[in-house]
């Protein structure tokens, strides 16, 4: 699994990976090219050969600019990066930023793009080695702020974040189904996924059956302590996965909605 670790204000962002072995995830390790610039939103291609990610590293021949994210790709051999990052050109304005890029098995790309305080989800069809101009998904509307899409490899559904669709929390995860090119009205993934806080950054397993997402649902209970905790105990609590920062969770999609996506 590839994922992002970041400071609270997103000023420092880097890519990490962890391997699943015998039912347990290994200690996170930084991807070898990360740590110099802000790298985020990793996505592994359906065939496992490429890692895509967003980065504000300078485009060759241009100066560095904070948060000017572009899409890059590296070659993978298992979890090992075996090439240098290469810029992936998308048919969008140079000043635009494609957020949370994810791909279908046939190469179509889904991403969110912001303008004038709004954010909508787009698709670029991959044809004859090139991406066609972006098209908005049918459920987009000016009154909604939708972002960070995660499309199923077979393009049958997309999971995305929204912070003003009258869901459960400040940011919720929603799902829309694709039937012959028509996208259904989004459905909230419910209280098993969404909390009164912020839940998002959707990811999918290769078989599209497991949803991965970030959440800060576990926090240290506000309560009066019986006695002073001491340095070690305090630092242990502050560095635990209940310190109010987001952690990664997983849940089976089957049963969350009926019928389940396929």
Has residue 73 been placed in a domain?
yes
The per-residue pLDDT for 258 is 63
261 pLDDT exceeds 70? no
Query: Which string of DSSP letters, residue by residue, matches 175-203?
Result: EEEEETTEEPPPEE--TTT--SSBEEEEE
Question: Is 262 among the domain residues?
Answer: no
CATH of the domain at 53: 2.120.10
The mean pLDDT value for 39-51 works out to 96
**What local confidence, expressed as pLDDT, does residue 189 receive?**
96
> Considering the domain boundaries, does residue 55 fall inside one?
yes
> Does residue 260 belong to any structural domain of this protein?
no
Q: Can you give the residue range of the structural domain that contains 79?
A: 2-252
243-247 average pLDDT score: 86
- Tens-digit pLDDT profile for residues 101-139: 999 999 999 999 987 668 999 999 999 999 999 999 999
Tell whether 105 is covered by a domain: yes
State the average pLDDT over residues 214-236.
84
In this predicted structure, what is the pLDDT of residue 206?
92
- Which 3 state secondary structure label does DSSP give 109? strand
| 229 falls within a domain | yes
Q: How far is CA 125 from CA 103, 121, 128, 130, in A?
A: 10, 14, 10, 8
**Does pLDDT of 259 surpass 70?**
no
Domain count of the chain? 1
* pLDDT tens per residue, range 7-24: 888 899 999 999 999 999
Is residue 18 in some structural domain?
yes
Which range scores top for mean pLDDT: 112-116, 166-170, 177-181? Answer: 177-181
The whole-number pLDDT of residue 155 equals 96
Q: What is the pLDDT of residue 174?
A: 97
Q: How far lies 17's CA from each of 32, 84, 156, 178, in Å? A: 10, 17, 27, 31
Would residue 258 count as lying in a domain? no
Lowest mean pLDDT among 79-93, 188-202, 222-236: 222-236
The radius of gyration of the chain from alpha carbons, rounded to an integer in Å, stands at: 19
Helix H segments across the chain? Answer: 231-238
- Checking if the pLDDT of 37 tops 90, the result is yes
Count Cβ neighbours within 10 Å for each residue of 48-81 and write b for 16 or more, e otherwise.
eebbbbbbbbebeeeeeeeebbbbbbbebeebeb
- Helices and strands (H and E) in the chain: how many: 1, 24
By C-alpha distance, which of 30, 204, 212 is closest to 102?
204
Q: What is the pLDDT of residues 47-58, one digit of tens each?
A: 999 999 999 999
């Amino acid at each position: 699994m590839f994922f992002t670790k970041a400071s609270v204000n997103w000023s420092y962002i880097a890519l990490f990976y962890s391997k699943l072995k015998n039912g347990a995830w290994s200690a996170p390790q930084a991807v070898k090219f990360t740590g110099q610039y802000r790298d985020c939103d990793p996505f592994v291609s359906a065939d496992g050969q490429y890692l895509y990610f967003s980065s504000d590293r300078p485009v060759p021949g241009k100066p560095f600019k904070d948060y000017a994210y572009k899409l890059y790709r590296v070659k993978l051999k298992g979890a090992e990066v075996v090439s240098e990052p290469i810029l992936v050109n998308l048919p969008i304005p140079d000043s635009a930023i494609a957020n949370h890029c994810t791909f279908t098995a046939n190469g179509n790309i889904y991403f969110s793009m912001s303008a004038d305080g709004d954010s909508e989800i787009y698709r670029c069809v991959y044809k004859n080695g090139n991406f066609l101009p972006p098209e908005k998904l049918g459920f987009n509307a000016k009154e909604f702020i939708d972002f960070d899409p995660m499309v199923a490899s077979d393009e049958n559904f997309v999971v995305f974040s929204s912070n003003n669709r009258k869901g459960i929390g400040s940011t919720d995860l929603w799902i829309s189904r694709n039937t012959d090119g028509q996208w259904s009205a989004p459905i909230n993934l419910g209280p098993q996924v969404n909390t009164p806080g912020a839940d998002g950054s959707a990811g999918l397993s290769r078989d599209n059956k497991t949803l991965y997402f970030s959440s800060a649902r576990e926090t240290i209970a506000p309560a009066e302590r019986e006695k002073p905790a001491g340095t070690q105990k305090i630092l242990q609590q502050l560095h635990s996965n209940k310190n109010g920062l987001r952690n990664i969770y997983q849940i089976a999609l089957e049963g969350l909605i009926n019928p389940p996506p396929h």
